[in-house]
Chains A and B, each alone.
Chain A
Amino acid sequence: DTAVSQTPKYLVTQMGNDKSIKCEQNLGHDTMYWYKQDSKKFLKIMFSYNNKELIINETVPNRFSPKSPDKAHLNLHINSLELGDSAVYFCASSPNILTGNTGELFFGEGSRLTVL
């Protein structure tokens, strides 16, 4: 069973399009995250939700909109895609960032977005 799964794994699209990446975790965790990894391998956090509530919202363009329908799911929608959005996007989860995070983040396998 995959603990944190994200779809699609690869996404190639044209500039200006809108796309979504979905993430699901079956670990029973309260907290989920979206990270962006650029070509230099820096992993930068974008958003974090705890029990469906947004708790971390980094300096990310408004074109990026996360949605958490329940604590097991965190989706990322991107409007008007730009060349600079090309990266690998990772979803992650942890027990509870606000009360008892062990420090261990469980990551999905990533979604490679290529904007042409």
Chain B
Amino acid sequence: LAKTTQPISMDSYEGQEVNITCSHNNIATNDYITWYQQFPSQGPRFIIQGYKTKVTNEVASLFIPADRKSSTLSLPRVSLSDTAVYYCLVGDRVSGSARQLTFGSGTQLTVLP
């Protein structure tokens, strides 16, 4: 099981770039890295997924080093509405394993004005 470790909380200011790092030292060859965002009173929402190097979409970028033992979610120019909990999830994309579908405690990002 590729257990993940993230900072419990982070603060940032509007307009700054925010980088949240997730450690997953025991990541397996078939594992992908997926990030979710959760606002209060809502379910988590998919942000981005990657396997190696860099992935970018309209919301964020995901940087994965060659050894894949960590990953960094990068949010460009955050706004107050980006205040949320961010979860890193590591697992095989095809899975019957509950362990690969269990989220950690996430990182509470607070964006300040």
Residues of A at the B interface (CB closer than 8 Å) are 4, 33, 40-45, 48, 55-56, 58, 90, 92, 97-110
A41's partner among B41, B85, B94, B97 (CB-CB below 8 A) is B85
Count A-B pairs with CB separation below 8 Å.
67
Residues of B at the A interface (CB closer than 8 Å) are 32, 34, 36, 41-46, 49, 85, 87, 89, 91, 93-98, 101-106
Contacting pair A56 B96 (CB below 8 A): yes
Which residue of A97, A103, A105 has the most chain B CB atoms within 10 A of its CB atom?
A: A103
B105's partner among A40, A98, A102 (CB-CB below 8 A) is A40
B94's partner among A56, A58, A98 (CB-CB below 8 A) is A98
A43's partner among B34, B93, B103 (CB-CB below 8 A) is B103
Shortest C-beta distance, A96 to chain B (Å), equals: 8
Contacting pair B94 A55 (CB below 8 A): no
B44 contact set on A, CB distance < 8 A: 43, 90, 105, 107
A110 contact set on B, CB distance < 8 A: 41-43
Top 4 A-B pairs ranked by shortest CB distance? A107-B43, A43-B103, A104-B46, A45-B101
